[in-house]
């Protein structure tokens, strides 16, 4: 019998044994020739996963919140206007971070569960001269996915740097940074990239790096400053060590292994797997009669789901029952509806077997909470999607 529950939250996720093995190896010196080669490999593989051969990767010890702050610290000066396109808690958090660097932050907020229409964004860009614009690809608080492609084009059209929060999307949702004209895309290691928490991963395109080089003022955040980190990244990629702060040696080794696994699967195949997993899970939720936070099906993320609790059921009752059935889900996060919904992560190494196990646990927990559920109804709906989508892919 499995001794621990299946972790199906929006991060940390389940990690591949090869990644955990790499993380648990004896720690090397950060100037060891073998580690230098590992670091070099991880930097180069990031460009492939992000689809950004022109970009400059940064691998920095820290969290997703640090990854958010790095572009803010390096690309925003006090006189700059910044536009935040917010679809939930993390868009609002980005506005708070940016307000530490400029007092000229404008937030375009979507209705709860919705998106900000492209026409609305363009209308705002026409009104004022913005230096930088941020978008959350998938907001972990709402499960809403935004299409970055038209927004990246708007950034180039109006000369605005576009920063994509890809914490809950990179290596799960389709992403092509260079082709989509996105200047910075960042994530954290513990999501779809598939490495335990500990790394902030940022990839800056040429426009962003050039803008940073032309700053009028010193970067006000010492730890985030690209003046400190860029020489380190360039040195390791060239096969020599450099020092600013001690690299997270074991995490970088694990990252190199995970990126290798991702690329061996194939990026298009990985995107497709996440699409099918997401659609299957959400079909199962629909079969159970559970309403979901995203207002439109087309805006649902493939990396996580955000269903509301059924009438008469609270998280205090349902989530422990799900855990007893062998699976862990997360509670709500968005402050307006925190107690009304829960969240399920299905990214990284999540497979169809995990979908069925999770839906089975949810069905059992709902029954234990007094909800009438036809046994297997969600599993049947999910399997129907899996068979249909895989048949279409095969054709």
Crossing angle of helices 118-127/149-157, nearest 10°? Answer: 20
Q: Write down the pLDDT at residue 382.
A: 98
Q: Is residue 173 a contact partner of residue 303, using CB atoms and an 8 Å limit?
A: yes
17-265, which class in CATH?
alpha beta
Strands, DSSP E only, in 179-271? 184-188, 199-204
Contact 188, 217 (CB under 8 A): no
- The tokens describing 210, both together, are 């050039």
Q: How many residues does the chain have?
A: 395
pLDDT tens per residue, range 63-92: 999 999 999 999 999 999 999 999 999 999
Cα R_g (the chain), whole angstroms = 21
Whose CA is closest to 172, among 160, 187, 158, 161?
A: 187
Would you say 214 and 80 are in contact if contact means Cβ atoms under 8 Å apart? no
pLDDT in 10s for each residue of the chain, 395 residues: 457 899 999 999 999 999 999 999 999 999 999 999 999 999 999 999 999 999 999 999 999 999 999 999 999 999 999 999 999 999 999 999 999 999 999 999 999 999 999 999 999 999 999 999 999 999 999 999 999 999 999 999 999 999 999 999 999 999 999 999 999 999 999 999 999 999 999 999 999 999 999 999 999 999 999 999 999 999 999 999 999 999 999 999 999 999 999 999 999 999 999 999 999 999 999 999 999 999 999 999 999 999 999 999 999 999 999 999 999 999 999 999 999 999 999 999 999 999 999 999 999 999 999 999 999 999 999 999 999 987 665 43
Domain ranges in the chain are 6-10+266-394, 17-265
Residue from 276, 266, 262 nearest 356 by CA: 276
Same fold, 6-10+266-394 and 17-265: no
- Roughly how many angstroms between the first and final C-alpha of the chain, as a whole number? 39
Q: Is 303 left (phi over 0), alpha (psi -120 to 50) or beta?
A: alpha
Q: Report cis status (omega within 30 of 0) of the bond before 93.
A: no
| Assigned CATH topology for domain 6-10+266-394 | 3.90.1150
DSSP H stretches of helix in 183-248: 206-213, 226-237
Of the candidates 248, 253, 252, 255, the residue with the CA atom closest to the CA atom of residue 195: 255
Kindly list the distances between the CA atom of residue 235 and the CA atoms of 31, 161, 200, 205, 288, in Å, as whole numbers in the listed order.
11, 27, 19, 18, 54
Which pLDDT score, from 0 to 100, does residue 395 have? 33
Q: Which residues contact 227 (CB under 8 A, 6 or more apart)?
A: 219
Nearest to 211 by CA among 163, 161, 158, 151: 161
Q: Give the strand pairing for 132-136 and 82-86.
A: parallel
Bridge partner list, 107:
84
């Amino acid at each position: 019998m499995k001794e621990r529950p299946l972790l199906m939250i929006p991060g940390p996720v389940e990690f591949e044994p090869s990644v955990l093995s790499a993380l648990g190896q004896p720690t090397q010196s950060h100037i060891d020739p073998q580690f230098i080669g590992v670091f070099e490999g991880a930097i180069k593989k990031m460009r492939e996963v992000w689809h950004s051969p022109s970009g400059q990767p940064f691998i920095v010890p820290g969290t997703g919140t640090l990854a958010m702050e790095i572009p803010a610290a390096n690309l925003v000066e006090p006189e700059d206007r910044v536009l935040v396109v917010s679809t939930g808690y993390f868009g609002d958090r980005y506005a708070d971070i940016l307000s530490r660097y400029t007092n000229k932050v404008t937030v375009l907020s979507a209705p709860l569960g919705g998106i900000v229409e492209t026409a609305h964004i363009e209308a705002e860009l026409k009104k004022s001269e913005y230096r930088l614009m941020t978008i959350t690809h998938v907001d972990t608080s709402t499960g809403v996915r935004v299409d970055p492609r038209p927004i990246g084009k708007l950034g180039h059209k109006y000369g605005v740097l576009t920063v994509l929060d890809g914490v809950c999307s990179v290596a799960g949702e389709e992403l092509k940074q260079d082709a989509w004209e996105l200047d910075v895309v960042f994530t954290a290691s513990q999501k779809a990239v598939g490495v335990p928490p500990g790394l902030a991963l940022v990839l800056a395109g040429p426009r962003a790096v050039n803008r940073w080089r032309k700053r009028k003022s010193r970067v006000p955040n010492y730890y985030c400053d690209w003046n400190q980190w860029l020489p380190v990244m360039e040195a390791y990629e060239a096969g020599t060590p450099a020092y600013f702060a001690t690299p997270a040696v074991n995490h970088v080794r694990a990252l190199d292994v995970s990126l290798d696994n991702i690329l061996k699967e194939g990026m298009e195949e990985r995107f497709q797997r996440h699409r099918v997993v997401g659609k299957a899970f959400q079909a199962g939720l629909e079969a159970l009669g559970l309403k979901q936070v995203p207002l439109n099906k087309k805006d649902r993320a493939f990396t996580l789901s955000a269903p509301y609790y059924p009438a008469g059921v609270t998280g205090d009752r349902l989530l422990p029952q799900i855990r007893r059935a062998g699976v862990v889900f997360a509670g709500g996060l968005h402050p307006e509806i925190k107690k009304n919904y829960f969240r399920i992560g299905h990214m990284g190494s999540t497979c169809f077997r995990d979908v069925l196990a999770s839906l089975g646990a949810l069905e059992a927990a709902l029954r234990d909470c007094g909800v009438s559920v036809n046994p297997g109804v969600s599993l049947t709906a999910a399997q129907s999607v899996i068979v249909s989508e895989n048949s279409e892919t095969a054709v």
